[in-house]
Amino acid sequence: YDRATFTGTNVYYVSFDNVQVGKLIGQGFKDCITAWNVSKPQVFTLNGGEDTDPNAVSFAQGYNSVIWGKTDSPLPAGTTNSDGYTLVGDKVAPGWDNAQGQTIFQQQYTAHRRGE
């Protein structure tokens, strides 16, 4: 993953194109929605660490560009796209905190759950 190397005479930083990683995640999501024949999906996005981690911001920018055609993050509930998706929520788990993320997810799942 992202690494700075401090040995030798030069300092190097090796990373990924995190926006491109987000785009791949978004395309994978779209491919699954299509393969599963989901019509008019209600989408909830829970991003970890956008408040503290620039990589998380870049992932979200890439994902949002593929799914919503926008690079803003978080996006407002009610955002739609030409494929019939509706965003019901876009939240952040502060500081990658798993316990807060779990609570946020459970609340959103309960609020927006459709039949099984």
Whether 81 contacts 68, CB under 8 Å: yes
- 3-state SS string for 28-72: HHHHHHHHCCCCCCEEEEEEECCCCCHHHHHHHHHHHHHHCCCCC
67-101, pLDDT tens digit by residue?
999 999 899 999 999 999 999 999 999 999 999 99
Number of residues that this document lists for the chain: 116
Give pLDDT tens digits for 26-64: 999 999 999 999 999 999 999 988 888 888 999 999 999
Residues 6 or more apart in contact with residue 113 via CB below 8 angstroms: none
Tokens encoding 19:
């926006």
What is the band of 12 on the pLDDT scale with cuts at 50, 70, 90? confident
Q: Walk me through the domains of the chain, giving residue ranges and CATH numbers.
A: 17-112 (3.40.50.2300)
The Cα 48–Cα 56 span in angstroms is: 7
What are the Cα distances from residue 5, in Å, to 10, 14, 16, 55, 56? 8, 8, 15, 18, 22
Rg (CA), the chain: 17
